[in-house]
Structure 1
Amino acid sequence: MAHKILIVDDAAFMRMMIKDILSKNGYDVVGEAQDGAQAVEKYKELAPDLVTMDITMPEKDGITALKEIKAINPSAKVIMCSAMGQQAMVIDAIQAGAKDFIVKPFQADRVLEAINKTLS
């Protein structure tokens, strides 16, 4: 059975890019969210196997949403996505429980490597 993945990014274009990479490689994208508040709601509703989470978003940022998801499910698997030059935020995210991070712009092989490693 395909792993269920929730994609969280405030940019529809970025969500589409990740969704495209995942769908072509046999993953089941069960939902999308455009901010951290939506991400937490969708996580509760869909119980995905993995979440890809943008760090910088309006309403609620990815690190805050990550902490809330980890509070709901301590074994939640979340991979953070960030643009170049956000190293300090990436460290915060890893300390908050993120399993890995992917740098934008996305490279398909790196996205798949991070997801396969996190799910295995």
Structure 2
Amino acid sequence: MIVKAKIMIVDDAAFMRAMLKDILTTLDYEVVAEGSSGLEAVHLYRRLKPDLVTMDITMPEMDGITALKEIKLFDSQAKVIMCSAMGQQKLVVESFQAGAKDFLVKPFNKDRIVDAIGKVLISK
């Protein structure tokens, strides 16, 4: 029996969460939670400990990079893929420095998502 990876999607835009959830469920991943802010992401992560998190950078209450740092303090093994419409080099670098495993640029490319999630899930 194949165990489905449990994934949490965090993005303040509902349509982006829906788009990503649609892609992930067709790839047979289980979306265990959705959050719309960094603060929500931290609370949900602590409660659910998903296998992987996709996290937007620009969100209300707490941005994605701050949320990533909080999650890493709680679980140093957390696997987080950052997402942003802004392909700004500075944010990509900041994300990796904070512990992100990969970075996806919006609008999402399904093949790139498949590749990123596959690589991150098998990494230690």
- TM-score calculated relative to the size of structure 1: 0.98
Q: CA deviation at 1:112?
A: 1.1
> How do residues 1-120 of structure 1 correspond to structure 2 at under 5 angstroms?
1-120=3-122
Structure 2, unaligned runs of 5 or more = none
* Residues matched between the structures, number: 120
Aligned Cα root-mean-square deviation (Å): 0.7
Is the partner of 2:77 in helix, strand or coil?
A: coil
What is the percentage of aligned positions where both structures have the same residue?
A: 64
Show CA shifts across 1:13-64 (max 9, x none).
Answer: 0000110000000100000000000000000111100000000101100000
Amino acid at match of 2:34: E
Amino acid at match of 2:31: V
Distance 2:81 2:40 in 1: 17
Is the partner of 1:88 in helix, strand or coil?
A: helix
Distance 2:88 2:20 in 1: 19
Distance 2:25 2:87 in 1: 28
Distance 1:118 1:101 in 2: 11
Q: CA deviation at 1:84?
A: 3.3
Distance 1:23 1:116 in 2: 14
- TM-score calculated relative to the size of structure 2: 0.95
Distance 2:87 2:93 in 1: 12
Distance 1:63 1:84 in 2: 14
Q: Which runs of 4+ in 1 moved over 6 A?
A: none
Distance 1:26 1:85 in 2: 28
Q: CA deviation at 1:85?
A: 3.4
